[in-house]
Structure 1
Amino acid sequence: MTDATAFAVHIPDADLAPDPLDPAQIVSGTPEVSGRVLWESPDGRQIRGIWQITPGVVTDTEADELFVVVSGRATIEVAGGPVLEVGPGDACVLREGDRTTWTVHETLRKAYHISLP
């Protein structure tokens, strides 16, 4: 995490730290997650960072999030909602409480902004 100083980071090759999945989230395959928080608001309700997942299928309950895919491809099924196909250059918005199933076809790396309640 950085302080209030302006900065730039090259997302495609930024170093990330392992962020193990809850085994209950894994539907199939052996997906591995890593990430790096770049900035967090003092109250912890706004988070910006980089996140990556290797191929497999996982479930999640989302926060309010805007992300841009830097590399890779995935299909995100939103329960009771759309099926989203995302790849490099795509921006995606997920809402607090969305229940999702992510089918990751190619290791996906994204830059994100999350807003917590």
Structure 2
Amino acid sequence: MTDVAGAESPFVQSGPDPGSWEPFLVGDVPVGEVHYLRQSGSDGSPLVVAFWRSQPQTFSYTFEGDETLYLIHGRVEVEYPDGAVVEIRPGDVVSFNQGATTTWRILEYSQKLFVVAN
């Protein structure tokens, strides 16, 4: 991240550069890559803001916090245990509740910006 307004300012700017991605792990299994913009609020409260990207794959995921995402690129299906499916396309904004258990199907290379709060 780059502090663009000076040392006294709380404003920072960040974007994913090629060397800034790391594996996004579900348990011990990598399911895409992530670039974190922040991992806590200014007061230390739980808050994650990040970019995520993935090649096509399928994996199970339980949301650790309330998450809102914006799909930048790709196509994704998220299925709930009752069979309900959420289709996510570029430009969609979707929110999921903490504790939701889902199966993600990444249908084509996808990128999202997401925010997680507990």
TM-score, L = length of structure 1 = 0.77
Moved over 6 A (4+): none
Separation (CA, whole Å) in 2 of partners of 1:73 and 1:106: 6
Aligned twin of 1:86: 88
Q: Deviations over 1:37-67 (max 9, x none)?
A: 1123142501111111211100010121000
Pick closer, same or farther for the CA change 1:83–1:52 going to 2, 3 Å: same
Question: How far apart in 2 are the matches of 1:8 and 1:23?
Answer: 27
Shift of 1:81: 6.7
Amino acid at match of 1:64: D
- The runs of 5 or more residues in structure 2 that have no matched partner are 4-9
- Matched residue count: 107
Q: CA RMSD in A?
A: 2.4
Tell me, what secondary structure is at the counterpart of 2:25? coil
- Provide the residue aligned with 2:56 in structure 1: 55
- Say which of 16, 25, 37 aligns to 1:21: 25
Q: In structure 2, what is the equivalent of residue 109 of structure 1?
A: 111
Q: Which residue does the alignment assign to 1:28?
A: none
CA contact (8 A) 1:65 1:115 kept: yes
Give the corresponding residue for 2:37. 38
Maintained 8 Å contact 1:2/1:38: no
Percent identical residues = 25
Secondary structure at the aligned position of 2:82 is classed as: coil
CA 32–22 in structure 1, closer or farther in 2 if over 3 Å, else same: closer
Checking the alignment, whether the CA contact within 8 Å between 2:24 and 2:34 is kept in structure 1 is no
**Mapped contact 2:31–2:59 kept (Cα < 8 A):** no
C-alpha separation in 1, matches of 2:27 and 2:21: 18
* Richer in helix (by share): 1
